[in-house]
């Protein structure tokens, strides 16, 4: 079974959303993990945004990359430039992918504008994940 690690800065939004979609789209045919180079906790807005699309990530945890140093991943996906640039050496032969998704946690404005930014990023991530899984 293929093992996929999704890496972001704080493992709170983008990587959590990717993990949720990859779990759904791979239908148990891959082991999906997410981590950060820091841990910030799972963002409540990310949980709400995914719930609106029928995916429950409320039980996800924010994990540090060091927790997975002994796992030999097949794929490593970085979802922000900061994680790609700051990622410590990760001993793995994983095929590496990168996509710099906007950080919805940095959205400013009204409640509606922030919610819309989360939706927009969610849809970008969803489409990326569909394409990623088809490519496997």
Q: What is the DSSP string of 32-45?
A: EEEEESS-----HH
Catalytic residue among 31, 45, 87, 97: 87
Domain spans of the chain, in order of start: 2-135
Q: What is the pLDDT of residues 9-28, one digit of tens each?
A: 899 999 999 999 999 999 99
C-alpha to C-alpha distance for 32 and 15, rounded to whole angstroms: 11
Q: Is 87 a catalytic residue?
A: yes
Q: What is the pLDDT of residue 82?
A: 72
Indicate the pTM of the whole model. 0.94
Q: What is the pLDDT of residues 83-135, one digit of tens each?
A: 666 665 555 788 999 999 999 999 999 999 999 999 999 999 999 999 999 98
Q: Is 8 a catalytic residue?
A: yes
Structure token digits, residue 7: 């890496």
Q: What is the pLDDT of residue 81?
A: 77
Catalytic residue among 17, 80, 83, 105: 80
Q: What is the pLDDT of residue 136?
A: 79
Q: How far is CA 17 from CA 42, 63, 89, 91, 118, in A?
A: 10, 14, 24, 25, 10
For 67, phi and psi rounded to 5 degrees? -65, -20
Q: What is the assigned CATH class of domain 2-135?
A: alpha beta
Q: What is the pLDDT of residues 30-85, one digit of tens each?
A: 999 999 989 999 999 999 999 999 999 999 999 999 999 889 999 999 998 776 66
Could you tell me which of 30, 54, 45, 22 has the C-alpha nearest to residue 130?
Answer: 22
Catalytic residue among 4, 8, 46, 77: 8
Q: Is 129 a catalytic residue?
A: no
Backbone Cα Rg of the chain: 14
């Amino acid at each position: 079974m293929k093992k996929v690690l999704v890496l972001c800065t704080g493992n709170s939004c983008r990587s959590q959303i990717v993990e949720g979609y990859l779990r759904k789209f791979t239908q148990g045919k891959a082991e999906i993990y997410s981590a950060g180079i820091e841990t910030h906790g799972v963002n409540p807005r990310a949980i709400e945004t995914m719930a609106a699309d029928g995916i429950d990530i409320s039980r996800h945890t924010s994990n540090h990359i060091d927790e997975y140093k002994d796992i030999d991943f097949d794929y490593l996906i970085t979802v922000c430039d900061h994680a790609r640039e700051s990622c410590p050496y990760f001993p793995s032969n994983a095929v590496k992918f990168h996509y710099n998704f906007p950080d919805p946690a940095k959205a400013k404005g009204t409640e509606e504008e922030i919610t819309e930014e989360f939706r927009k990023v969610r849809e970008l991530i969803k489409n990326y994940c569909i394409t990623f899984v088809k490519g496997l």
